Chains A and B, each alone.
Chain A
Amino acid sequence: MKLALRHVYKRIEGLEVIRDLSLEVEEGRLACILGPSGAGKTTLLNLMAGITVPDSGEMEGFSGKRVSYLFQEPRLLKWKTVRGNLEFVLKDHMGPAERQRTIDRYLQMVGLTEFQHYLPAKLSGGMRQRVALARAFAFPSDLLLMDEPFTGLDVQLKLSLMQAFIDLWLADRRTTFFVTHNIQEAVMLGEEIFVLSDRPASVKGHIELSIPHRQRDGAMPELQRAERDLFRLLTLGTDATASPA
């Protein structure tokens, strides 16, 4: 099965945000959408989530998909514990026994089992984002959408969160669209990377990275070449499609 957008256009309050955008991804892939800030990346995710509909163009494979979302902020209910926050999104979708098992499993995967009865206010920023990560993966979705979830974190925290994310993702390889303006994040995580133009957004380049996630390392020549290609694509505004690394 494929997920695709074909010649999609979207205006928001008269402003053209997306113009003639096309992309195609096989199910089970981790796709990165790399674009400058304010390019319409969030609008693109909203289209995929079904929050908004395109003005014209086609979307294939998105309708009826259950979506989980990882936002830039953790978006936790502060009056519910870590466990309660996971319960909140799972309750309408799973029976009690399955729910408890799922929550236990994901809390363990993000290393928060000991903190399950804590309120968010008692956790650090990184821990809260881990709760959000566990919530996104515990939710029985077909599609995972991530809106710059690692932005605004210090380097150490970002690396450990990205590692937690990769572990979770490799465990079930859920189709994921990951939006970012950060080239390093794109090459560390993306199996496919789509480069967006400035607003109105369209895809102006695409590369594939087949190196397994666990082997990726910023010093690898292939990744450095990919970074250079992406940088060129982002800055020069050419229509060239780089060859796969």
Chain B
Amino acid sequence: MGSTTRHSLATVSSVLVLILIWKLLSLMIGAEIILPAPESTVRDLLSVVRSPDFWPSVGATVARGLIGFLVSCLGGIAVGLLAGFNSLAFWMLQPLLTVIRSTPVMAVILLALIWFQTEMVPIFVSFLMAFPIMCSNTIEGIRNVDAQLVEMARLFRVSPRRVLWELYLPSVLPFLMAGASAAMGLTWKVIIAAEILSQPRLAIGTEMQTAKTYLDTVRVFSWTIVIITVSFVFETAMQAAEKHFRAWR
């Protein structure tokens, strides 16, 4: 048996064991309102997927996540480049990054609710959470560029433009990809929290909050599975991209 087959077998059996435990627990508790059984969750999930608001809600949440993610990528890389090359900018940035990193997500969401319109809140929150990650990874990448290679390129009179594209970029790229991967994972977590509190018209978070209000526990489970799936799809894509860029390692 190949090791890949063995690994997938281990993954599949672990999922089966989890579902089994879930089933057993739901039998022991015996109250769908506290812990719905796996099969009723699947049934409810199917009806959620078939409901007319499903794709618009998922699309709206994904769009907000991606906008927040892309803005934090661009902003983080731009500011990170500045701080990576300029030590004054680096030291000026440190307090800001520390403050952003240590502010609880809920505090950010509450302030965003006061400051912005509903639609903007999740985007702003996911931007603020992912920005420090992208920023510090970019800085780390720049600082990890091999000074000996830069000196080599200069001695052989390689044009600065090519040094940037062919030396700096490939050196920094793995750090950017690792940062983007981490930022992506975080985005889906905070975006749901922000949507639950800000209640945009179409959103996975809004659906979850509504289900909770009606004590529709099975529906909360269904939407949780939906967001796990969304997160899984994007993280898998990020990992594949990351692996691709690391091929030379």
Contact = CB atoms under 8 A, between A and B. Distances in A.
A152 to B, nearest CB: 15
Interface residues of B, number: 15
A68 B162 CA distance: 18
A79 B167 CA distance: 9
Contact of A121 (B153, B155, B157, B248): B248
Interface stretch (A4-12, A16-24, A89-97): A89-97
B152 to A, nearest CB: 4
B167 A51 contact: no
Interface size class of A (residues with CB under 8 A): 20 to 34
A119 B157 contact: no
Chain B contact residues: helix, strand, loop or mixed? helix
Query: In terms of DSSP, what is the predominant structure of the interface of chain A?
Result: loop
A69 B155 contact: yes
Nearest to A68: B156
Contacts of A67: 155
B4 interface: no
Nearest to B170: A79
B249 interface: yes
B148 A92 contact: no
A69 B248 contact: no
B39 interface: no
B158 interface: yes
B162 A71 contact: no
Given A66-B157, A79-B248, A91 B152 contact: no
Contacts of B155: 49, 51, 67-69
Contact of B249 (A77, A121, A139): A121
21 contacts: A49-B155, A51-B155, A66-B157, A68-B155, A69-B155, A73-B148, A75-B149, A77-B149, A77-B167, A78-B249, A79-B248, A80-B166, A88-B162, A89-B153, A89-B158, A91-B162, A92-B157, A93-B157, A119-B248, A121-B249, A139-B156
Interface of A: 49, 51, 66-69, 71, 73, 75, 77-80, 88-89, 91-93, 119, 121, 135, 139
